[in-house]
């Protein structure tokens, strides 16, 4: 019988960290220190024990509904599951759901980082050129993970709901579809050989234009943030404050028990910053997490140059995969979201579909009111 226990002391948090050290890859969003980044949220670190053996851990972020006793419980890209226990969904979900309900949650949202399907760049390019496929789900994947599909089926059968708000795969908080490149053991030449002609040409153009990419320091986060706000204005999204990124740097680089590393890269020409990106590593997985670019200087191709450097540095840091994060589910070239895929597919990587996020509704009326409020906020 698997039971859940709150990590409510430094000794128990040590157990959490030691458990995570056994895994080559898991999401940085499940590190205990990630709670420090999420201002406005409370948190709980929990562990699942099969008798005395720790078999699963999770960081729960908690957001209270103002003027009520109810809360949203959220495990971003979690929990982190022991492979031997992961498919026993009832065993780990039941105590988690009971714990959330007893703690005043109206909804439990979770999204274990388990792969369902994978498509190669060649398959996706062919589907786009055929001009008959609308979304990834219409295209036969190159690889199907029966284990992941089994978990998804069990989550649905146990009452889980997946939210689709736009038909483009962006109903989740964290991306359900990501674009990634296998980098382990590959030389520069082998990586470049998978790139499109346009990507290789743009990298050469950046080199000829003397665009320099450097690994920056904590103090350079202000430069990144200026560019990030320009990007937000141009692309019409609400930017995070500078302090968010400063805390992210401190938490991942200083408070992660050496489980994570965060870097800032800046692409410059003649000391003028044209692009900046954040890079995060956990074990053998590196993520490109945030990017920013100026409207001027795009012809210098700084975005290609900075991605090329981060990709190689991921390989040199021992990563097996360089994750360029989310893309839309659409294959429609006329969609405003298609640009995310257009840029990334030129690296010749692959599209990965995860099991995604699931809502387990504990208080239906409160949940309905919450969804209505979210819809009104746009």
Q: Are residues 139 and 183 in the same domain?
A: yes
Asked if 276 and 291 touch (Cβ cutoff 8 Å), the reply is yes
Task: Annotate 206-239 with b (16+ C-beta within 10 A) or e (fewer).
Answer: beebebbbeebeeebbebbbebbebbeeeeeeeb
Question: Residue 290: its pLDDT value, please?
Answer: 98
Asked if 356 and 176 touch (Cβ cutoff 8 Å), the reply is yes
Asked if 310 and 157 touch (Cβ cutoff 8 Å), the reply is no
- Residue by residue, DSSP assigns 222-238 as HHHHHHHHHHHHHHT-P
How many residues appear in the chain?
A: 378
Question: Residue 1: its pLDDT value, please?
Answer: 62
Task: Annotate 245-277 with b (16+ C-beta within 10 A) or e (fewer).
Answer: bebbbbbbbebbbebbebbbbbbbbeeebbbbb
In 33-88, alpha helices (H):
83-86
Burial class (CB in 10 A: 0-12, 13-18, 19+), 146: exposed
Asked if 59 and 34 touch (Cβ cutoff 8 Å), the reply is yes
The domain spanning residue 11 has which CATH number? 3.40.630.30
Q: Are residues 151 and 128 in the same domain?
A: yes
> Shortest CA distance to 348 belongs to which of 318, 324, 316?
324
Question: Residue 228: its pLDDT value, please?
Answer: 98
- Interior angle at CA 77, CA 223 and CA 317, nearest 5: 55
**Model pTM?**
0.94
Q: Per the omega criterion (within 30 degrees of 0), is the bond before 312 cis?
A: no
Beta strands 212-216 and 177-182 are unpaired
Asked if 11 and 52 touch (Cβ cutoff 8 Å), the reply is no
Q: Are residues 64 and 88 in the same domain?
A: yes
Q: Are residues 222 and 171 in the same domain?
A: yes
Q: Are residues 146 and 121 in the same domain?
A: yes
Q: Are residues 6 and 138 in the same domain?
A: no
Q: Are residues 85 and 174 in the same domain?
A: no
Residues with Cβ within 8 Å of 112's Cβ and at least 6 positions away in sequence, in order, are 77, 78, 79, 80, 81, 86, 151, 355
Beta strands 260-269 and 80-81 are unpaired
Which residue range forms the structural domain that includes residue 243?
A: 115-354
Asked if 358 and 171 touch (Cβ cutoff 8 Å), the reply is no
Q: Are residues 27 and 99 in the same domain?
A: yes
Q: Are residues 126 and 61 in the same domain?
A: no
* Locus of tokens 């346009």: 198
Beta strands 42-50 and 2-6 are antiparallel
Reading the chain (378 residues) residue by residue, the pLDDT tens digits are 677 787 765 556 667 888 898 887 899 999 999 999 999 999 999 999 988 889 999 999 999 998 899 999 999 999 999 988 888 999 999 999 999 999 999 999 999 999 999 999 999 999 999 988 889 999 999 999 999 999 999 999 999 999 875 555 555 689 999 999 999 999 999 999 999 999 999 999 999 999 999 999 999 999 999 999 999 999 999 999 999 999 999 999 999 999 999 999 999 999 999 999 999 999 999 999 999 999 999 999 999 999 999 999 999 999 999 999 999 999 999 888 898 899 999 999 999 999 999 999 999 999 999 988 887 775
Residues paired with residue 371 on neighbouring β-strands, in sequence order: none
Domain count, the chain: 2
Rounded to the nearest angstrom, the gap between the alpha carbon of residue 360 and the centroid of all alpha carbons in its chain is 21
Q: Are residues 302 and 339 in the same domain?
A: yes
Q: Are residues 170 and 312 in the same domain?
A: yes
Q: Are residues 153 and 253 in the same domain?
A: yes
């Amino acid at each position: 019988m698997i039971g859940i226990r709150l990590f409510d002391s430094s000794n128990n948090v040590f157990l959490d960290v030691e458990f995570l050290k056994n895994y080559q890859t898991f999401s940085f969003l499940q590190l205990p220190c990630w709670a420090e980044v999420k201002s406005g949220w409370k948190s709980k670190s929990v562990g699942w024990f099969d008798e005395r053996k720790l078999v699963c851990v999770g960081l729960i972020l908690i957001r209270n509904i103002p003027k009520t006793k109810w809360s949203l419980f959220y495990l971003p890209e979690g929990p982190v599951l022991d492979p031997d226990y992961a498919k026993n969904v009832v065993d780990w979900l039941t105590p988690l759901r009971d714990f959330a309900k007893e703690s005043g949650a109206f909804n439990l949202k979770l999204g274990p980082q388990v792969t369902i399907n994978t498509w190669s760049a060649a398959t996706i390019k062919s589907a786009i050129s055929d001009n008959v496929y609308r979304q990834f789900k219409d295209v036969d994947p190159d690889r199907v993970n029966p284990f992941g599909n089994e978990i998804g089926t069990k989550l649905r059968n146990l009452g889980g709901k997946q939210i689709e708000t736009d038909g483009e795969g962006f109903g989740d908080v964290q991306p359900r579809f990501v674009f990634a490149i296998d980098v382990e053991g590959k030389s520069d030449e082998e990586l470049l050989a998978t790139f499109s002609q346009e990507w290789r040409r743009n990298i050469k153009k950046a080199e000829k234009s003397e665009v320099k990419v450097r690994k920056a320091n904590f103090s350079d986060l202000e430069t990144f943030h200026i560019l990030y706000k320009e990007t937000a204005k141009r692309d019409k999204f609400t930017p995070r404050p500078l302090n968010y990124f400063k805390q992210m740097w401190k938490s991942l680089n200083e408070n992660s028990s050496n489980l994570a590393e965060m870097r800032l890269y800046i692409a410059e020409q003649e000391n003028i910053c044209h692009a900046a990106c954040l890079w995060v590593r956990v074990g053998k997985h590196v993520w490109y997490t945030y990017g920013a670019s100026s409207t001027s200087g795009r012809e210098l191709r700084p975005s290609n140059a900075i991605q090329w450097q981060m990709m190689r540095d991921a390989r040199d840091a021992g990563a097996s995969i360089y994750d360029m994060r989310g893309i839309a589910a659409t294959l429609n070239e006329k969609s405003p979201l298609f640009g995310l895929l257009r840029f990334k597919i030129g690296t010749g990587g692959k599209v990965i579909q995860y099991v995604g996020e699931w809502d387990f509704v504990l208080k239906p009326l409160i949940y309905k009111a919450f969804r209505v409020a979210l819809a009104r906020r746009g």
